[in-house]
Chains A and B, each alone.
Chain A
Amino acid sequence: SQELEQSPQSLIVQEGKNLTINCTSSKTLYGLYWYKQKYGEGLIFLMMLQKGGEEKSHEKITAKLDEKKQQSSLHITASQPSHAGIYLCGADFSGGSNYKLTFGKGTLLTVNP
């Protein structure tokens, strides 16, 4: 089974709507990374979370890591077409080995104008 599960697999929202993407781990996370990818291109770093209960925001995107450090959520407020893309969560399971990440399968976000 997948070590890192993302849900939903795909999401279509109307511009201006809020949305949440979840990333659930089968084991404790030492670090959780969120990236965005345009189809067929490289990954753009969004945020990194490490501490249980941690929450970070950048512009209209907020990411949280739960207290048990096994689940993270990415929330987008007032979505825009520029938010469209594939959102990937990546995890460090080995405790400080940040150079070997395990990724979820991704969530494809479509924002309709």
Chain B
Amino acid sequence: KAGVTQTPRYLIKTRGQQVTLSCSPISGHRSVSWYQQTPGQGLQFLFEYFSETQRNKGNFPGRFSGRQFSNSRSEMNVSTLELGDSALYLCASTLVVGSSTDTQYFGPGTRLTVL
């Protein structure tokens, strides 16, 4: 079974631009979570989507948004990019069987550099 895929793997943008990142979960997985990883703050939760609805949200400004499609694929968008948005963006997919043993499986990440 294929793992979580993220595209693109690397991205360079300039301040003020916007960017869209894509995540395809493991086949059959219904939940997609997004995280931002930086050297200073570590790994921080952005938001989680299930059945095309945002269920959980972290403490990030409204410039960060996302959505999920009917096939569970998810995208996240960052508008008006700032230098501090440079980070590794990771998505994770979860099967969701209603069990507390559900586990998040991570993709390889998208490395975003803002100049």
Contacts and interface: CB of A to CB of B under 8 A. Distances in A.
Contacts of A43: 90, 92, 106
Interface string B44-67: 110010100001101000000000
Contact of B94 (A96, A98, A103, A106): A98
B111 interface: yes
Q: Is the interface of B mostly helix, strand, loop or mixed?
A: strand
Contact of B55 (A30, A31, A41, A99): A99
Contacts of B81: none
Interface residues of B, number: 28
Interface residues of A, number: 25
A101 B109 CA distance: 17
A99 B48 contact: yes
A1 interface: no
A33 B88 contact: no
A96 B100 CA distance: 5
A33 B104 contact: yes
B106 A42 contact: yes
A101 B4 CA distance: 18
B22 interface: no
Nearest to A106: B42
Interface of B: 4, 31, 33, 35, 42-45, 48, 50, 55-56, 58, 88, 90, 92, 94, 100-109, 111
Given A96-B100, A99-B56, 15 more contacts: A35-B106, A40-B88, A40-B111, A41-B109, A44-B106, A50-B100, A98-B103, A99-B48, A99-B55, A100-B33, A100-B45, A100-B56, A101-B33, A102-B45, A103-B44
Q: Give the top 9 A-B pairs by smallest Cβ distance, nearest first.
A: A43-B106, A103-B43, A42-B108, A99-B48, A42-B106, A100-B56, A105-B42, A98-B102, A99-B33
17 contacts: A35-B106, A40-B109, A41-B108, A42-B106, A42-B107, A42-B109, A43-B90, A44-B106, A50-B101, A96-B100, A98-B94, A99-B31, A99-B94, A100-B56, A103-B35, A103-B42, A105-B42
